[in-house]
């Protein structure tokens, strides 16, 4: 079951990265492209295992950087930095609540680009920054926050539609059945 979820998350990351590179609707309408990888990372951290979190950071990050002018491998670290603490503390998080998902998605979507820009600045490759970047950051945060509950709902639906259900044992035991008919002794 976990393997199915992990594969599904990686496939979604593959499509999300491709979609971000090909469809630039949000960039035209809102002035910034929305990144779905942090939202996926929140789902992976809360609902899958550490292997899926690591694989998502690696493949999502490499895919994103392959289309971007970022140095290759740069996005891996912010994604991991966002996913790992949530994975470690996931027992304390009310992951079922859409509000919690929204807040976590917002925090992750705000933190990941900030960390990426910090890494770029510390690597001596200053990106395109200005007052407009604040608006872009807000759009990315809000977009990621709104997308996260949908990501959970989508994977929930996939899990329900495509995943198998473990057979549950009933409490019925024939040897303890109370027979209530009138038998002749």
Partner 1 sequence: MFKQKNYIGPGIVVLAAVLILSLPPSAASHLKLAIGSLFLPLLGLANAGRQLPADLADSVLSRHELLKEIDSLRLENQELKVRQLQTGAIEQENEELRMGQESLFKQPWKLKVADVVMRDPANWWRSIEIDLGSRDGITPNLAVMTTEGLAGRVSSVGLHRSQVVLIGDPNCRISALVEDPAHDVGILSAGGPFDSSLANLTYLAGGANLKSGQQVVTSGIGGIFPKGIPIGQIVDSREVEFGLYTEARVKLNANPGALEEVYVLMP
Interaction site with partner 1 (CB under 8 A): 14-15, 17-18, 20-22, 24, 27-28, 31-33, 35, 50-51, 53-54, 57-58, 61-74, 76-77, 80, 84, 87-89, 91, 113, 116-117, 120, 123, 125-133, 135-136, 140
Output 92 or 179, the one with its CB closest to partner 1: 92
Q: How far is the CB of 80 from partner 1 (least distance, A)?
A: 6
Diameter over CA atoms, the chain: 94
Q: Which residue, among 134, 116, 158, 119, has the nearest Cα to 15 in the 3D structure?
A: 158
**Whose Cβ is closer to partner 1: residue 58's or residue 111's?**
58
Closest CB to partner 1 among residues 43, 87: 87
Spell 43-65 as b/e; 16+ CB within 10 A means b: bbbbbbeeebbbbbbbbbbebbb
| Residue 105: CB minimum distance to partner 1, A | 18
What's the rounded Cα separation, in Å, for the pair 46 and 146?
17
Q: Are 71 and 65 in contact (CB under 8 A)?
A: yes
Give the pair of three-digit tokens for residue 176: 């303890």
Least gap, CB of 6 to partner 1 (angstroms): 12
């Amino acid at each position: 079951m976990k393997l199915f979820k992990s594969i599904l998350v990686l496939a979604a990351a593959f499509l999300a990265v491709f979609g971000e590179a090909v469809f630039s609707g949000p960039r035209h309408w809102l002035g910034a492209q929305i990144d779905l990888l942090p939202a996926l990372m929140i789902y992976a951290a809360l609902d899958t295992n550490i292997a899926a979190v690591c694989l998502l950071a690696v493949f999502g990050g490499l895919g994103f950087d392959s289309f971007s002018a970022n140095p290759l491998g740069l996005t891996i670290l912010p994604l991991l930095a966002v996913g790992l603490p949530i994975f470690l503390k996931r027992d304390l998080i009310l992951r079922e609540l859409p509000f919690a998902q929204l807040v976590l998605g917002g925090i992750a979507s705000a933190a990941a680009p900030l960390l990426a820009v910090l890494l770029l600045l510390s690597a001596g490759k200053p990106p395109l920054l200005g007052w407009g970047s604040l608006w872009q950051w807000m759009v990315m945060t809000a977009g990621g926050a709104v997308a996260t509950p949908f990501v959970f709902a989508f994977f929930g639906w996939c899990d329900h539609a495509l995943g198998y259900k473990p057979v549950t044992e009933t409490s019925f035991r024939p040897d303890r059945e109370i027979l209530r008919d009138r038998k002749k002794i």
